[in-house]
Structure 1
Amino acid sequence: MWMESSVRSGASKFKQLRHFTALTLLALGLAACAGAPLRPAQKTVGTAQPLATLVVATPDADHDVMAQLLAGEMALSHTDLKTASDHYGKAMALSNDPEVAERAAGLAIAVRDDAAAQRALDRWQALGAKPAGMAQARAELALNHGDADEARRQLELLTASGDKDAWRQFGRVLVGARDQAQAARLLEALATPQRLPGEAQAWLAMSELGDKFGRHAYAMQIADAAVQRFKSAETYAWAAQMKFKDGDRAGARLLLQKALAKAPKNTQLRLAYAGLLSQAGDYTGASRLLEQGPQNADTYAMRAGLAARDKNDKALAALYQEMQKAPPDVRTASAYLLGQLAEMQHRDAEALAWYEQVGDDDAHAFDADLHSAMLLHSQGKRADAHQMLEQMQMSYLDQPAQLRQAWQLDAELYLREQNYAKAEAAFSHALQVVPDDPGLLYNRGLTYADAGQIDLAVQDFQHLLKIKPGDVDASNALGYTLADANRDLPEAERLISVARAAKPDDPAIADSWGWLQYRMGNLDQAAQTLRGAWLARKDADVGVHLGEVLWKQGHTQDAQRVFDEVRKLDPHSSSLQQTLKRLHP
């Protein structure tokens, strides 16, 4: 930003002092030695060589400018502004350098030590302060006191000083003001089109500052005036942003078109315009715009997002091929996206290779590792997948959201292996990170049920219903678990009825109801309900339930046909295997 993100807070403003180098500090310290009070030289005893009698007197710490500056630096490194201000005040009294006085003034103003600030300002002025710098400091001091009239007078002096950084300093003063409403009034009064300089960046900075202060009308006025005066790409782009914020999408698009006409190769402008087209539903136009001109990681990311939203697999495949030919730095910055594109095309080995290139400092590093673990598991490298997740669980101990995901994925992978004990343990670890998380409780309850630990499953589902009374999925899960265990069938009926009323067309709930009817001995109703659920969604468990009911009705050939279909859907269905053992003892 033109104002370098404007003025920071007092603590961060002085946290690190870059102005004085070690050589500057040394020069200031040596220059101060000549006029500072000295320690008395010690007497020598006996005859000595001439050089041996030479004693270099050194000032004590209170009169050593070098010591005061270093002590001030040490205090700043610990964000101790008050101590730093005290040391710089002492250094200022010992030094004739105006920059020391300037720093002392800034620190005193930051800690609201008015007396010290006034002494430092007087000293700085006596040493030849620049008018712009002095006006800035006095304006800050006035705003600290809430003296708007004095602040305005000093800000007028600042902006009329002719200093090349005057308007930048003006913005810093206002951003750092404690009373933002007062600062906003000063902005509107002083940063007018009649007073602003012939530099587009200053106009844009004042408009942005007005928007930050909540003075949208003022921000829009300055943005429009900047367009009329400069007619540059940057002024068109900022005015477009203001129009969009005001709800005028058509006006924003028109201004962005003009901005692009001025700077057709500007990537950020193309991205902004494509974003507007996308929000208007013109995905094709947005994609076409982004395909033109220079490409970088951001354009590729938006193009991929648009193609995915449009479900255009052909475009995604073409984009993957194009990105592989991009410059190395773009490929490196886009490694996670390349991994996703490869994974979508079932190029698992390539996807793994791309995910491995995602740097630790990349925002997608965690997600890349999650995807890698899933791909390793799908390739049959189960131990490698769990080892990777174990490493992630150690790496993200201090980040609960990521830690929870790592444990949850570990649990889900163990479920695929039907290793229920380890799946339960992983879900329990995740619940230690996020206690009473509804999703985790639900999944652990299902895991307990699959493992035959019905009491624990019921306990989790009941606890979930206390957290979310009437939750449809939890009601259905608990009702089904009770029905499948052939216990407390009236309660199971009540729970599944609640779920059916909320989602009458849900095949999973219909399966629960049909299985409950089977347990209650209502075979015809069970068969009818389960057949409807099976036709609605060819799910292996629904098919197994329907086949068993048909078998019990004596329709063995129909049952066998359903079982054959289930075997095609899930050749390793444990539910089918257990059912067939029961039916063929």
Structure 2
Amino acid sequence: MAARYWIGICTAFALAIAGPAKAAADSPDVPVEQIYEFLKAEVAAQRGDLDQALAIYSRIARETRDPQVARRAVEAAVRARAYGPALEAAALLLEVEPDSSLAREIIASLLANDGALPKAQATLEDLLKKSPDRASLLRQLSHLYAKFPDKTAVLDSTIAVTQPYLDMPEAHYAMGVAALLAGRTELATRETSRSLEMRPGWEQAAILQAQVLRKTDAQQVIPYYANFVSQHPESKDVRTQLGRELASERKLSEAREQFRAVEKLAPTDAQPAYAVGLLSLQMEDYDDASAAFKRALDLNYRDSSAVYLSLGQAAEGRKNYDEAIEWYRKVESGEFMRAQLKIATLVAKQQGLAAGREYLKKVEPRSDDDRIQIVQVEAQLLRDAKAWKETYEMLSAAVKEYPDSYELLYDRAMAAERIDNLPVAEADLRKVIRLKPDYAHAYNALGYTLAEKTNRLAEARTLIEQAVKLAPDDPFILDSLGWVNYRQGNLEEALKVLQNAYSQRPDPEIAAHLGEVLWKIGQRDEARKVWRTALAENPEHETLLAVIQKFKP
């Protein structure tokens, strides 16, 4: 067997194995009388006598079915470059620890290296015959075949391997997965349905059925999941999937209820509490978000910095800036820079522009991306202070240093528009479009600027329509589409589009535009109502105040 192949397997093992080697000796599942044998194997491994170590590890693993000992057997077999024992040890590990990605990766690599698909099929048939837990192996077949690229051939092989076990729902599940990967959706539907008939309430099969539905009738995925959990209310994994689907459809309240149910079903799992927090944060239910994030922290959520950042956002949403800063100060790792920039913004709100800028000077950038973010935040502080000319000048200096930063070019374009420097605004936005042709907001910004500040309405509409294609559900882009319709005299279309945008996000600028269209078509009471509602929450919004003044009797 090629040396580089075994190096790859060893690397996979080193990356995947969890915990120190001595943990197996400390495992409560290993009987006391076998500890001596285990330590004997450890000594043999340290001395390089891998054959003796492998023999002892394998025997203890078979007798105890302890996953940590099984990992040691896999490690010894891989290091000894012993194909057969490595396969057997990895198969045992997969039986005793079905979620072991290490075992799946080792078996898949060994099968693919051993030659053509027929030989892998024969090996799997032999493993299934010998295995006392065929169900686990059958559920994992798609992973074990993963390194074979011909998915049609893999489907044929899977069908052959599973034939002796058609009385097991796992065999039909395995064929369903292989059929889905091969693009045979009818077969996938049939086999997955059969697995659920044989084992009603099996969540793994239900999730597969939803994946097949996504290929054939995506609109039915949410109803399918909802029906399943109504029939099987204890289905934690399916509820989690339903929550994710609802969230992706922006049905945030319904998604949150599903994750609340998952929390009750899995009270020691931090993930559903964190999901509840994120959904509450999006819903601007800051008290609930804060409580959920604290539950996630208490349950040792794997990324505490992400939770601290979110707790800071929740406190900021409640306008409790001191608390927000305290949470942001706890953030480390990848979110550190983001948290520091948020602190600077809050310092500026509390102590003024100069204090915020001074805090920014103390933030140590670790990359050009960090430096660009610092510039962007400082520009935002200046915008908040309505220092438009200084914003433009600072961004212009930054663009000289980073001429191909689409973020800085976009920000300078917005600053240029505020000081009526339309040539620079247009040039910057066109360069952004060249640098990042899928950036919807660049098309939108240029289109809106042309619609608002020039008579180039046809060109503006083309740009905005391109933005809509790239981001069809963005309410601010829909606002621009409504506004260009208004400027072109298409009042009914403008009203329809702006009402849609406002229903998605009752932003004061959208409210200003919607109210103006309502006023123009004679619905003046409705226009005043929209403006009053927006003004109550945004009493100093310039665009809103300007349009109200414009139509004041």
TM range (shorter): 0.5 to 0.7
Tell me, in whole angstroms, the C-alpha distance in 1 between the residues paired with 2:137 and 2:416: 70
- TM-superposed deviation, 1:443: 4.1
Aligned to 2:63: none
**Kept in 1: contact 2:270–2:296 (CA 8 A):** yes
Aligned to 1:276: 212
Determine which of 383, 398, 404 is the counterpart of 2:322. Answer: 383
1:355 aligns with 2:290: no
Per-residue CA deviations over 1:139-184 (Å, capped at 9, x if unaligned) read 989967xxxxxx7xxx5xx89xxxx989759998994899876423
Per-residue CA deviations over 1:415-450 (Å, capped at 9, x if unaligned) read 666943454456667771442355654443333344
1:251 aligns with 2:213: no
Determine which of 113, 125, 129 is the counterpart of 1:197. Answer: 129
Tell me, in whole angstroms, the C-alpha distance in 2 between the residues paired with 1:174 and 1:497: 47
Tell me, in whole angstroms, the C-alpha distance in 1 between the residues paired with 2:108 and 2:255: 50
Determine which of 340, 349, 357 is the counterpart of 1:407. Answer: 340
Q: SS of 1:184's equivalent?
A: coil
Tell me, in whole angstroms, the C-alpha distance in 2 between the residues paired with 1:314 and 1:167: 43
Tell me, in whole angstroms, the C-alpha distance in 1 between the residues paired with 2:530 and 2:397: 34
TM-score, length of structure 2 as denominator length = 0.58
Tell me, in whole angstroms, the C-alpha distance in 2 between the residues paired with 1:576 and 1:170: 63
Residue type at the aligned position of 1:85: R
Once the two structures are overlaid, the 10-residue window that deviates more, 258-267 or 489-498, is 489-498
Aligned to 1:307: 246
- TM-superposed deviation, 1:389: 0.7
Determine which of 427, 444, 448 is the counterpart of 2:378. Answer: 444
1:16 aligns with 2:21: yes
Residues 431, 441 of structure 1: CA spacing in aligned structure 2 closer, same or farther, 3 A cutoff? farther
Aligned to 2:365: 432
- TM-superposed deviation, 1:276: 3.3
Aligned to 2:201: 265
Which aligned pairs between 1:158-237 and structure 2 lie closer than 5 A? Answer: 168=92, 175=106, 182-185=113-116, 187-188=119-120, 190-191=122-123, 193=125, 197=129, 199=131, 200-201=134-135, 204=138, 208-212=143-147, 214=149, 216=151, 219-231=154-166, 232-237=168-173
Per-residue CA deviations over 1:249-301 (Å, capped at 9, x if unaligned) read 33222211111111112222223323433454123223222332143543332
Tell me, in whole angstroms, the C-alpha distance in 1 between the residues paired with 2:75 and 2:241: 45
Residues 497, 544 of structure 1: CA spacing in aligned structure 2 closer, same or farther, 3 A cutoff? farther
Determine which of 526, 540, 548 is the counterpart of 1:572. Answer: 540
1:481 aligns with 2:443: no
Tell me, in whole angstroms, the C-alpha distance in 2 between the residues paired with 1:332 and 1:505: 41
**Kept in 2: contact 1:243–1:249 (CA 8 A):** yes
1:369 aligns with 2:308: yes
Tell me, in whole angstroms, the C-alpha distance in 2 between the residues paired with 1:306 and 1:495: 38
1:103 aligns with 2:103: no
Residues 464, 455 of structure 1: CA spacing in aligned structure 2 closer, same or farther, 3 A cutoff? same
**Kept in 2: contact 1:143–1:177 (CA 8 A):** no
Aligned to 2:47: 85
1:339 aligns with 2:270: no
Residue type at the aligned position of 2:208: A
Residue type at the aligned position of 1:446: Q
Gaps of at least 5 residues in structure 1 are 1-5, 29-65, 90-99, 108-135, 145-150, 518-527, 546-560, 579-585
Tell me, in whole angstroms, the C-alpha distance in 1 between the residues paired with 2:340 and 2:161: 54
Tell me, in whole angstroms, the C-alpha distance in 2 between the residues paired with 1:201 and 1:511: 62
Aligned to 2:463: none
Residues 187, 457 of structure 1: CA spacing in aligned structure 2 closer, same or farther, 3 A cutoff? farther
Once the two structures are overlaid, the 10-residue window that deviates more, 440-449 or 165-174, is 165-174
Tell me, in whole angstroms, the C-alpha distance in 1 between the residues paired with 2:203 and 2:94: 31
Residues 380, 439 of structure 1: CA spacing in aligned structure 2 closer, same or farther, 3 A cutoff? closer
**Kept in 1: contact 2:225–2:238 (CA 8 A):** no
Residues 341, 227 of structure 1: CA spacing in aligned structure 2 closer, same or farther, 3 A cutoff? same
Aligned to 1:458: 393
**Kept in 2: contact 1:233–1:262 (CA 8 A):** yes
Q: SS of 2:115's equivalent?
A: helix
Residue type at the aligned position of 1:284: P
- RCO higher in 1 or 2 (8 Å CA, sep ≥ 6)? 1
Identity, % of aligned pairs?
A: 12
- TM-superposed deviation, 1:356: 1.0
- TM-superposed deviation, 1:235: 1.6
Tell me, in whole angstroms, the C-alpha distance in 2 between the residues paired with 1:166 and 1:505: 54
**Kept in 2: contact 1:479–1:512 (CA 8 A):** no
Tell me, in whole angstroms, the C-alpha distance in 2 between the residues paired with 1:544 and 1:458: 30
Residue type at the aligned position of 1:570: N
Once the two structures are overlaid, the 10-residue window that deviates more, 354-363 or 342-351, is 342-351
Residue type at the aligned position of 1:197: K
Q: SS of 1:355's equivalent?
A: helix
| Pairs aligned (count) | 439
- TM-superposed deviation, 1:224: 0.9
Residues 494, 237 of structure 1: CA spacing in aligned structure 2 closer, same or farther, 3 A cutoff? closer
**Kept in 2: contact 1:478–1:492 (CA 8 A):** yes
Residues 463, 306 of structure 1: CA spacing in aligned structure 2 closer, same or farther, 3 A cutoff? same
- TM-superposed deviation, 1:358: 0.5
**Kept in 2: contact 1:476–1:496 (CA 8 A):** yes
**Kept in 2: contact 1:449–1:457 (CA 8 A):** no
**Kept in 2: contact 1:336–1:355 (CA 8 A):** yes
Q: Which has the larger radius of gyration?
A: 1
Gaps of at least 5 residues in structure 2 are 1-8, 58-73, 96-102, 456-482, 489-493, 514-528, 547-553
Residues 480, 419 of structure 1: CA spacing in aligned structure 2 closer, same or farther, 3 A cutoff? same
> Considering only aligned residues, what root-mean-square deviation do their CA atoms show, in Å?
5.9
Tell me, in whole angstroms, the C-alpha distance in 2 between the residues paired with 1:476 and 1:166: 53
Once the two structures are overlaid, the 10-residue window that deviates more, 417-426 or 440-449, is 417-426
